[in-house]
Amino acid sequence: MRRHRRRVDLRMDIAPINLIDLLLVLLIFFVTTTTFLQLKVIALNLPLSTSTQTKYEKNRTVVINIAPNCDIFVDKMPITKEKLPQHLEEIKHHDKKTIFQVGADMITRHQCVVHVLDALVSANISNISILTKNEK
């Protein structure tokens, strides 16, 4: 007597519902852990320019924003005009390769921008760029 072995059918099915759940979990993970480059910029109406080549290095870029009413913000933190040079010197002292970006609203008075540039010069900072919006 021969014994007949039954073939075991080992077919594995992958449920697409589980893959969709996994995809959504991964999407939520990446969206919540991604850091965005321009988090330090406050809402300004920047002037237009045809040549926008701004260097940005994560953790090495300090953004100085000037609001239309001449309020100054260093990385979204408000600071007075009098304390600005000392604060900039402290930042430069920690990392000499820091890039300082100055952004001013289109309707900000020129004198406000000059005060910030004077503070940068008095702190012996030469690595400065001006933020603009690309015209194209």
Q: What is the mean pLDDT of each run of 10 residues along the chain (136 residues)?
A: 68 73 87 64 65 64 90 91 91 86 88 92 87 73
Angstrom distance (rounded) from CA 81 to CA 70:
9
User: Does residue 23 lie in a domain region?
Assistant: no
Residues 5 and 23: their CA atoms lie apart, in Å, by 41
Rounded to a whole number of angstroms, the CA Rg of the chain reads 27
Q: What is the span of the domain harbouring residue 69?
A: 48-134
The answer to whether position 84 is within a domain reads yes
Q: What is the pLDDT, as a whole number, of residue 36?
A: 58
pLDDT of residue 21: 84
Residue 68 lies in a domain: yes
What is the number of domains present in the chain? 1
- What CATH number has the domain bearing residue 117? 3.30.420.270
Within a domain: 73: yes
Q: Is residue 7 part of a domain?
A: no
Would you say residue 62 lies in a domain?
A: yes
Answer whether 113's CB lies under 8 Å from 71's CB.
no
Domain-embedded: residue 31:
no
- Number of residues assigned to the chain: 136
pLDDT of amino acid 105: 85
Evaluate whether residue 33 is within a structural domain: no
Q: What is the pLDDT of residue 50?
A: 67
